[in-house]
Amino acid sequence: MDTASETSAVIAFGRFLVLPRRRELLADGQPVKLGGRAFDVLLALIEARGAVITKDALMTRVWPDRIVEENALQSQMSALRMALGADRDLVRTVSGRGYQFIGEVRPVHSADENAGADAVATKPASVVPMTNLPEPLSELIGRDDEIGEILNLAAAHRLVTLTGAGGIGKTRIALALARELLPHFADGVWVAEFSPLNDPGLVAATVAAALGLEPGGGEISVQRVAQMLTGRRLLLVLDTCEHVIDGTATLAEAVLRAGSTVYILATSREPLQVEGEWVFPVSPLAVPVENADNESDPLQYGAVRLFIERARAAVPHFAPDRRDAALIAAICRRVDGMPLAIELAASRVATLGIEELATRLEDRLQLLTSGRRTALPRHRTLRATLDWSYELLSEPERAVMRRLAVFSDDFTIEAASDVAAGHDVAAADVVRCLAGLVRKSLVASDVGGPVPHYRLLETMRAYAMERLSESGEFEAVARRQAGLQPEPSEVAAAD
């Protein structure tokens, strides 16, 4: 189908121009990189004049006479939204129906096409802001909604912190956001990676090195870095802050106070807790509910799409049938929709197959160990990721966390106190430790009802149960949870 023949020579919406015959998209007069399929998706949405287009209709339009899977369309939709940048919300996902373009379209006379093209040819190419952002090596799957929400937060607030458990995908989301925000910062977007640090005092030097600052002689202090950034319009990405959080918090607040044109996007397992911070808790990927309607499409869930994509990286012709899709959904539920765990599980498909993998997942901490060789050590196995979080806890917090493993479902503060209090943790301190575990993304909380409820994610519970067994406390804690007093010998063993 010749879509250009059915469309105006030039279409305008917002700051964009579409030149159908040239198959070009311009933003503020500059060409925007957009692939052919994504361009066809944009034209189809525009031509619908505000109506919702079903996914099937879009796939037929973009891939005529071909059978493709829905994730191919989702990939092109992600590319289109990335090209639109801060205006990505012009393309809406209408749950259960399809997609809708909500921009105000202004047809332009065909005589203006050459004028638009001439403007591109004569206008100097905009200077690409400098950055040390790495190029993406794979698609970010299942995070379109989060990206849109965080972009809105980042537009309104100068410090946004993405929090969540290890392996939830905070860094990947932050880097995707940074790439979209890059055109809006004249002095660039810069990433300071704190994973290698073991001293909070090195935070300022790490940021200075990432930015290429040359402070001259003397110590590189937080105040000096903040002063050198005054007047610059840039985005600073502070990645993996939890183990140097005091130093990071001090630097972030100093930078915010020194000027009004530096923005900060941080990733951490807990908030920085500084003035001006807005926190966005990163949730697990969406997974199908258990016993879902047989007619529901598992591919609409980010967790399932990620699993299939990563499995195909190891087994190119992997094509799950309906039974496989149900097992994949169950696997994703068992690992709580955690992207790292899903990727590790998918890497096992080549050797175990789907059914055997699902059967063996009970021992997930031993099974999920095939991370990328180039990944950070804490991301090469599921256990290493959980070890990293556990070792950052205080001793009382560790004790409370492992004792909470006896709860297979939700629990209240009172129940937590009954089970977790002991000779080493006073009952009054259990509440403080529980609050710390929630803040550090290790315990999920539901405070919407009259009585707050808490829960360990299944993967975290399996890890905490191992730690509980190793401590020799299991029998005593289990008796407490059952409402029984521990035997004297068990108390002595726990001591």
Q: What is the pLDDT of residue 357?
A: 87
Q: Write b or e for each residue in 90-99: b if 16 or more Cβ atoms lie within 10 A of its Cβ, otherwise e.
A: bbebeeeebb
Q: What does the block give as tokens for 152?
A: 């809105």
**Strands annotated E in 114-206:** 159-163, 189-193
Give the span between the Cα atoms of 245 and 250, in whole angstroms.
8
Q: What beta strand segments (E) does 415-493 contain? A: 444-446, 453-455
Residues near 491 by Cβ (< 8 Å), separated by ≥ 6? 476
- Chunked in runs of 10, what are the mean pLDDT values of the chain (495 residues)? 49 88 84 85 89 88 77 79 82 84 74 45 47 87 90 92 93 94 89 91 93 76 92 94 95 93 95 95 90 69 92 87 89 90 89 87 70 58 86 93 92 92 89 93 88 89 91 88 61 49
Cβ pair 25, 38 in contact under 8 A: no
In this prediction, residue 285 carries a pLDDT of 93
Measured distance CA(75)–CA(299) in Å, rounded: 12
H/E/C letters for each residue in 125-150? CCCCCCECCCCCCCCCCCCHHHHHHH
Does residue 172 contact residue 140 with C-beta atoms inside 8 Å? yes
N residues, the chain: 495
Nearest to 235 by CA among 257, 206, 256, 204: 256
Max CA distance (Å), the chain: 92
CB-count exposure of residue 5 (10 Å: 0-12, 13-18, 19+) = exposed
Q: Are strands 189-193 and 24-27 parallel, antiparallel or unpaired?
A: unpaired
Q: What angle do CA 2, 71, 3 make, to 5 degrees?
A: 10
Tokens describing residue 311: 């499995």
**Element at 323 (helix H, strand E):** helix 322-334
The per-residue pLDDT for 437 is: 93
How many C-alpha atoms does 137 have within 13 Å on its Cβ side? 5
**Which pLDDT score, from 0 to 100, does residue 379 have?**
57
Q: Are strands 98-101 and 91-94 parallel, antiparallel or unpaired?
A: antiparallel
Contacts of 75 (CB under 8 A, 6+ apart): 139
Residue 447's pLDDT is: 85
Enter the tokens of residue 444.
């999920």
CA distance 238 to 159: 10
Contact (Cβ atoms closer than 8 angstroms) between residue 34 and residue 79:
yes
Buried b vs exposed e over 117-150: b needs ≥16 C-beta within 10 Å? beebeeeeeeeebbbebeeeeebbbbbbebbbeb
**pLDDT for the residue numbered 169:** 93
* Distance in angstroms (rounded) separating the CA atoms of residues 124 and 72: 35
- Contact residues for 449 (Cβ-Cβ < 8 A; gap 6+): none
Identify the pLDDT of residue 45. Answer: 92
Output the CA angle 389-391-397, nearest 5 degrees: 85
* Chain centroid to CA 72: 21
Start-to-end CA distance of the chain, whole Å, equals 76
- Write down the pLDDT at residue 482: 82
Written as six digits, the tokens of 179 are: 């790439």
pLDDT, position 277: 96
User: Among 304, 379, 300, 309, which Cα is nearest to 337's?
Assistant: 304
Who's near 111: CB < 8 A, 6+ residues apart? none
Place of tokens 């001259």: 216
